[in-house]
C-alpha cells in the first residue's frame, strides 16, 4: 500500500473510532424527554415517607419525621411534615414558592435540597430544561460517566468533572440517579448532592425511587424512605394555590407589625432555627 493511501486509511479509522465512541451520547433534550416518558402519565401522585435527618446538633444525632409529598403534574408540588407543636408546609408552583412553619410564612424561595423533586415532577421537557437552567446545569454539555457501577449520561459536565451542577441519568433505564447542585449560603457547602436509588416499580408504566439520599460536603444529611403511595388521588386546587395560601398564612415578620417584645423575637429565631434544622 502506498504511504499516502496508508495515511488516509489511518485517518479514516481514527475518525471512525471517534464517531463511534460518541454516537451514543444523546443530546440533553432527548435524554430528558426519554426520562420523562418512563415516569408514566399520572395526574397526581402522593407519597407517604419516613424522613431521617442526620445532624450532630440533634439529640442522638438524628431525627425521624413522617412526611407527605404531593405531586400534581406537570409543575406543582407540596410537602407537609408534622413537627413538635405544629406542621411545616412547602409549596412550589408556577407562581413561586412558599414555606410555612407553625402557621407563619418564613420563606418564599426554594433551598438547594428542595430541587430533589425537579426530575420527579416536571412532565414537560421544556419545563424541566428551564428548571435545570435555573440551577446552572449547562444543557449544552453531555458526557458518559460511571457511578457505582452504573453507566449514565452526565448532563452539565464532562465526566469526571464534579465541580459544577449536573444531573445523571442512567443510560439503560433513563432514570435519574444523581443530582449535583450548588450549595446554599446557609450551610456553606460548595456543592450538594442528591442520590436516587432503589427504584420501585409502581405499575407497568411508572417507577419511583424508594430512597432519596441528600449529602452536604460528602456527609449524609438526610434520607427519604418511601412507605406508601397513591396514584391519581383527587387533590384540591387550594393545596397548591400560593396566592390563596398567602391569605391563610401571615409572614413571620411583617413590615407593618414587627416583633414588639423580646419574647416575640425569640420565638421568631426559634421558628427559623427549627426550620433550618429540619430542612437544610
- Residue ranges making up the domain that contains 63: 25-279
Domains identified in the chain, total number: 1
Q: Which residue has 448532563 as its cell numbers?
A: 155
Residue 68 has a pLDDT of 98
For residue 18, being part of any structural domain is answered with: no
For residue 92, being part of any structural domain is answered with: yes
For residue 8, being part of any structural domain is answered with: no
Peptide bond into 155 cis (omega under 30): no
Over residues 10-19, the mean pLDDT reads 42
Q: Which residue has 415516569 as its cell numbers?
A: 39
**Per-residue pLDDT tens digits for 188-241:** 557 899 999 999 998 877 899 999 999 998 999 999 999 999 999 999 999 999
pTM to 2 decimals? 0.83
For residue 132, being part of any structural domain is answered with: yes
* E-assigned strand segments in the chain: 44-54, 62-72, 76-83, 86-93, 96-101, 104-107, 142-147, 150-155, 166-170, 176-182, 191-203, 206-216, 219-231, 250-251
Best CA proximity match to 169, nearest among 61, 26, 7, 54? 26
For residue 110, being part of any structural domain is answered with: yes
Is 18's pLDDT higher than 50?
no
CATH classification at residue 64: 2.50.20.10
Grid cell at residue 166: 449536573
For residue 65, being part of any structural domain is answered with: yes
Alpha-carbon distance 16 to 10, whole Å? 10
Residue 212 has a pLDDT of 98
**Per-residue pLDDT tens digits for 54-65:** 999 998 999 999
Alpha-carbon distance 275 to 90, whole Å? 11
For residue 170, being part of any structural domain is answered with: yes
Alpha-carbon distance 111 to 37, whole Å? 27
For residue 255, being part of any structural domain is answered with: yes
Amino acid at each position: 500500500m502506498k504511504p499516502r493511501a496508508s495515511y488516509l486509511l489511518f485517518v479514516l479509522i481514527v475518525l471512525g473510532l471517534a464517531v463511534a465512541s460518541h454516537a451514543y451520547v444523546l443530546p440533553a433534550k432527548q435524554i430528558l424527554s426519554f426520562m420523562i416518558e418512563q415516569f408514566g402519565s399520572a395526574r397526581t401522585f402522593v407519597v407517604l415517607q419516613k424522613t431521617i435527618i442526620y445532624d450532630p446538633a440533634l439529640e442522638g444525632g438524628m431525627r425521624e419525621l413522617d412526611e407527605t409529598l404531593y405531586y400534581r403534574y406537570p409543575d406543582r408540588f407540596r410537602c407537609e411534615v408534622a413537627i413538635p407543636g405544629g406542621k411545616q408546609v412547602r409549596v412550589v408552583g408556577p407562581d413561586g414558592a412558599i414555606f410555612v412553619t407553625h402557621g407563619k410564612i418564613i420563606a418564599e424561595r426554594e433551598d438547594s435540597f428542595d430541587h430533589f423533586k425537579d426530575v420527579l415532577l416536571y412532565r414537560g421537557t421544556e419545563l424541566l430544561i428551564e428548571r435545570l437552567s435555573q440551577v446552572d446545569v449547562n444543557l449544552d454539555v453531555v458526557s458518559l460517566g460511571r457511578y457505582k457501577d452504573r453507566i449514565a449520561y452526565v448532563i452539565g459536565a464532562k465526566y469526571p468533572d464534579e465541580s459544577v451542577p449536573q444531573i445523571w441519568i442512567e443510560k439503560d433505564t433513563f432514570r435519574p440517579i444523581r443530582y449535583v447542585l450548588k450549595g446554599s449560603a446557609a450551610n456553606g457547602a460548595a456543592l450538594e448532592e442528591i442520590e436516587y436509588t432503589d427504584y420501585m416499580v409502581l405499575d407497568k408504566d411508572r417507577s419511583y425511587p424508594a430512597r432519596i439520599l441528600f449529602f452536604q460536603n460528602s456527609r449524609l444529611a438526610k434520607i427519604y424512605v418511601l412507605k406508601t403511595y397513591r396514584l391519581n388521588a383527587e387533590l384540591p386546587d387550594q393545596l397548591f394555590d400560593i396566592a390563596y395560601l398567602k391569605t391563610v398564612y401571615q409572614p413571620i415578620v411583617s413590615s407593618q407589625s414587627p416583633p414588639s417584645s423580646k419574647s416575640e423575637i425569640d420565638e421568631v429565631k426559634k421558628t427559623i432555627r427549627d426550620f433550618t434544622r429540619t430542612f437544610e
